[in-house]
Amino acid sequence: MNWFNNSQKTDKATDEALLKRYRDSGDLAVLAELFKPYSSMVYYVCLRYLQDGEQSKDAVMQIFEELISKVNKQEIKQFASWLYVLSRNYCLMQLRSAKKMQYTTIDDFMELPIDLHQDVENKEKQLTALELCMEKLPPAQKQSINLFFMNEKCYKEITEITGYTLNDVKSYIQNGKRNLKICIEKNGER
């Protein structure tokens, strides 16, 4: 099937009819018929965000697969607008995921007075200071910092693990970073 052929024109009534037919039957051919006229739009949205043609083509297929479950779970008033938002959000999640996959250290996120180019003895002192200061953090900050930096969890994953709200998690991480920096500087353990 050629996904990028937009010779068909659709309107809101046609989209609604196809959507209802898919929800009633679960027939993937109906969903494909609904999706096909918008596949080029989805591709170009993905290309805009992902900046890679092959990755964008893959994203179009992944977004179609997401439709299989998502159209049954959400109220859709205007399919084209809803699909645009779904595509954009998919791409943003891909970009976040790719960024998360890059190897980072706590030093990349924090402006701690730790110089990794120092001699081994000084590095050892600084890492020991960091560990001691971590122990001084309030439990919520310590847990959030550990999950975010050491276990490389995203905010959403931390909220699921801890039960904290998203705003609380962001606050705990921000305040924890600040408290670590202050503690290390205050103790003169540079």
What's the CATH code of the domain at 175? 1.10.10.10
**pLDDT bracket for residue 162 (50, 70, 90):** very high
**What phi and psi, each to the nearest 5 degrees, are found at residue 158?**
-65, -40
Share of the chain above pLDDT 90, in %: 36
pLDDT at 5 over 50: no
Same structural domain, 19 and 86: yes
**What phi and psi, each to the nearest 5 degrees, are found at residue 43?**
-60, -45
Q: Which of 9-18, 80-89, 171-180 has the lowest mean pLDDT?
A: 9-18
**pLDDT bracket for residue 9 (50, 70, 90):** low
Tell me, what's the pLDDT at 10? 62
Tell me, what's the pLDDT at 33? 93
Same structural domain, 127 and 94: no
What type of residue sits at position 56?
Answer: S
Mean pLDDT along residues 97-124: 54
The answer to whether residue 1 is domain-embedded is: no
Distance CA 3, CA 22 (A): 18
Average pLDDT, the chain: 81
Distance CA 91, CA 56 (A): 9
- CB burial of residue 51 (10 Å; 0-12, 13-18, 19+): exposed
Same structural domain, 118 and 145: yes
Same structural domain, 114 and 132: yes
Of the residues 84, 101, 118, which one is the last residue of a structural domain? 101
Mean pLDDT along residues 59-77: 90
Same structural domain, 147 and 71: no
The answer to whether residue 73 is domain-embedded is: yes
Same structural domain, 181 and 145: yes
Give 24-74 as a DSSP string. Answer: HH--HHHHHHHHGGGHHHHHHHHHHHH--HHHHHHHHHHHHHHHHHHHHHS
The answer to whether residue 7 is domain-embedded is: no
Same structural domain, 50 and 29: yes
**pLDDT bracket for residue 100 (50, 70, 90):** low
Residue that wins the pLDDT comparison between 5 and 96? 96
Distance CA 9, CA 20 (A): 18
Mean pLDDT along residues 29-34: 92
CA 44 to each of CA 8, 57, 94, 176: distance values in angstroms, whole numbers, following the listed order: 18, 9, 15, 40
How many structural domains does the chain have? 2
Residue 29 belongs to what domain range?
A: 12-101
Same structural domain, 20 and 88: yes
pLDDT at 80 over 80: yes
Distance CA 28, CA 55 (A): 23
Same structural domain, 131 and 169: yes
The token pair that represents 70 in the structure block: 């998502």
Distance CA 175, CA 154 (A): 17
CATH code of 60's domain: 1.10.1740.10
The answer to whether residue 124 is domain-embedded is: yes
Listed residue (111, 117, 109) closest to 145, CA to CA: 109
Mean pLDDT along residues 44-60: 91
Residue 168's Cα: distance from chain center in Å? 18
The answer to whether residue 2 is domain-embedded is: no
Its pTM stands at 0.50
Q: H or E element: which one contains 99?
A: helix 79-101
pLDDT at 88 over 80: yes
